[in-house]
Amino acid sequence: MSAPAGERTTAATGLTLVPLALAQFICSFAGSNMNVMLNDMSKDLGTTVHGIQISITLFLLVMAALMVPFGKLTDKLGRKRCFILGLAVYGAGAIISALSPGLGVLIIGNSILEGAGTALLIPPVYILVTLYWKELRSRARSFGVVSAAGGVGAATGPLIGGSICTFISWRAAFGFQALIIVVILLLSIRLKDPLPADPKRPFDVVGAVLSAVGIIVFVLGILAADNSLWLCLALLVGGAAIIAVFFWWVRRLERSGREPLLSTGLFRNRVSNLGLVTQNFQWILLMGISFLVSSHLQVVRQYSAVESGVIFTAATVGILVSSLSAGSLVRFVAQRTLIVGGFLITGIGTVMLLLVGAVPGAWPFAPGLLVIGLGLGVMLTPSVNVVQSAFPERLQGEISGLSRSISNLGSSFGTAIVGTILVLGLNGPADQYALAIVPLLVVAAGGAIVGGFLPGRAAAGVAPAAAAP
């Protein structure tokens, strides 16, 4: 049963949005700040650059694998409780990462604990925004702030992480994350949950295991491409088969009248399906480009962490300006237009990066990164708003988990694909920078095409209660 409207309005203040936006910022920051610390971390931990790249990808993969199950847990445990628990797990992981003596402990702290903590705390962020702000424009503005925080976190990760790594230590970068978590915890004390928790609500353990294992095996297949084509194909096919079994299991539960981990009704909403694809493509581009440029500058051109990070200021400015403008733009421009235009602008910026690949210095990358930031920022908010607004309150836990899982799968795909191509090139004299940009250009073009099938202004802004499947 919904909380009274008056209570929800009181809870939804500017201060309410601060811890939610900060949480999205630090989780996105964690996904990109290690990109510029590859050399320093690999030397200190006695491993290779590829080993650190694997840790980064595993962090994103754990997030994607656990986002749906943990999103579902918000209904059972409550949104605020999951948010606080996620912050605690994340903070513990950050501290362990800062103290890690080798790659194995780093993977436990960063990849597993920080990844699991993120999967616990991010679905509540998007559920709470949807429940607090009911009107399309105010919700768009709120999602604009959260999306801007996420985009800025991903874009400033290389700059902040690189600066801390250069002037202090890469370990201090994880200390910085733990400090931000403490701040968020303090700001979250007065958060109120608009919907009561339902401890008796069933939880589909079998479905949770099948979905997580299927996603992990599939993405590991992409990572295995640099070792063995047969292993790569086997893992891809195996992952797809496990995901197929997951959907069979979900359908079986629905037919027997039991509640599955994920309702198949979520996939019957055409608008939401298209929006989910655009979210996935956006994060492939954001994390793939960040990973590509950071790795190229450090490994090929031998720039320091801070030198590599400074150049991402251009992307940060672009994302910040366009994301914060999204709430105002939605008044005059259809969400479909913003999404399609964002992909086209991002594609132009990616072409600009391709053209400067052989140009000396780091600053020639700035114009392309600025354009990419503008393109990504303008479409992050509409995509989230389209998906979340397509479902009623009772399905917000499921759709939020699915939405964030799809986005984090995009992050995993972006780093896995680009990382695999770069690793293939590191074993020979040729730099694979230009080759790694090709799939990113394909994704940008594909995103514009998919976005074009979204409905116009009226249908994209359907209120949740009216859009129940």
pLDDT in tens, 63-101: 888 988 998 888 889 999 999 999 999 999 999 999 999
The confidence score (pLDDT) of residue 210 equals: 95
Residue 1 burial class via C-beta count within 10 angstroms: exposed 0-12, middle 13-18, buried 19 and up: exposed
Q: Which residue has the higher pLDDT, 394 or 104?
A: 104
- pLDDT in the model for residue 14: 63
With a cut of 70, say whether residue 428 has pLDDT above it. no
The pair of structure tokens assigned to 63 is: 């997030």
Query: Looking at residues 207-229, what average pLDDT do you find?
Result: 86
Give domain limits for the chain: 11-192+261-467, 204-260
Is residue 327's pLDDT more than 80?
no
345: pLDDT confidence band, cut at 50, 70 and 90?
A: very high
Quickly state the pLDDT bin for 13 (edges 50, 70, 90): low
The type of residue at 221 is G
For residue 100, the SS3 value is: coil
Q: Which of 121-130, 274-283, 303-312, 391-400 has the highest mean pLDDT?
A: 274-283
Fold of 11-192+261-467: Growth Hormone; Chain: A; (1.20.1250)
Average pLDDT over residues 177-188: 95
The answer for residues whose C-beta is within 8 angstroms of residue 299's C-beta and 6 or more apart is 38, 39, 49, 422, 426
Q: Give Cβ neighbours of residue 230 (< 8 Å, ≥ 6 apart).
A: none
CB atoms within 10 A of CB 394: 14
Given a cut of 80, whether residue 423 has pLDDT beyond it is no
Lowest mean pLDDT among 221-235, 313-327, 391-405, 451-465: 451-465
Q: With bands split at pLDDT 50, 70 and 90, how would you rate the model's confidence at 9?
A: very low
Rounded to the nearest 10 degrees, the angle between the axes of helix 313-332 and helix 136-167 is 180
Q: Where are the alpha helices (DSSP H) in 33-48?
A: 38-45
Q: pLDDT-based confidence at 460, cuts 50/70/90?
A: very low
For 341-360, give one letter per residue: b (16+ CB within 10 A) or e. Answer: bbbbbbbebbebbbebbeee
Work out the average pLDDT over 8-30: 78
C-alpha to C-alpha distance for 31 and 423, rounded to whole angstroms: 19
Residue 305 is predicted with a pLDDT of 78
CB 260 within 8 A of CB 207: yes
Using CA atoms, how far apart are residues 299 and 260, in angstroms rounded to an integer? 46
Whether 125 contacts 184, CB under 8 Å: no
pTM of the full predicted structure?
0.80
The alpha carbon of 166 is separated from its chain's Cα centroid by a whole number of angstroms, namely 26
Cα–Cα distance measured from residue 144 to residue 228, given in angstroms and rounded to the nearest whole number = 42
The tokens for 125 are: 């962020």
Residue 466 pLDDT exceeds 80: no
Whole-number mean pLDDT of the chain? 85
pLDDT for 424: 67
Do residues 389 and 130 touch, judged by C-beta distance below 8 A?
yes
pLDDT at residue number 183: 96
Separation of alpha carbons 381 and 148, rounded Å: 8
Predicted confidence at residue 431, as pLDDT, reads 62
Rounded to an integer, what distance in angstroms lies between the CA atom of residue 81 and that of residue 233?
40
Contact yes or no for 282/447 (Cβ under 8 A): yes
The yes-or-no verdict on residue 155 having pLDDT over 80 is no
The reported pLDDT for the residue numbered 301 is: 82
- Number of neighbours of residue 46 by Cβ within 10 angstroms: 10
Instruction: For residue 355, give the amino acid letter.
Output: L
Write down the residue that tokens 């679905």 correspond to. 123
* Chain position carrying tokens 């445990």: 77
Side-chain-side CA neighbours of 54 within 13 Å: the count stands at 18
Top-ranked range on mean pLDDT: pick from 166-170, 440-444, 453-457? 440-444
pLDDT at 398: 78
pLDDT at 326 over 80: no
In terms of pLDDT, which residue wins out, 124 or 300? 124
| Alpha-carbon distances of 219 from 92, 228, 419, 422, rounded to whole Å | 26, 14, 12, 17
Give 462 or 140, the one with higher predicted confidence. Answer: 140
Determine the Cα–Cα distance for residues 230 and 95; give it in Å rounded to an integer: 38
The DSSP call for residue 161 is H
Average pLDDT over residues 104-117: 95
SS3 of 258, please?
Answer: coil
- Both tokens assigned to 59: 């962090």
Between CA 319 and CA 372 the distance in angstroms is 8
What is the model's pLDDT at position 455?
87
pLDDT of 241 reads 97
Which region among 162-166, 227-231, 248-252, 333-337 has the lowest average model confidence (pLDDT)? 227-231
Longest dimension (CA), the chain: 65
Give mean pLDDT, residues 122-130.
Answer: 87
274: part of which helix (H) or strand (E)? helix 270-295
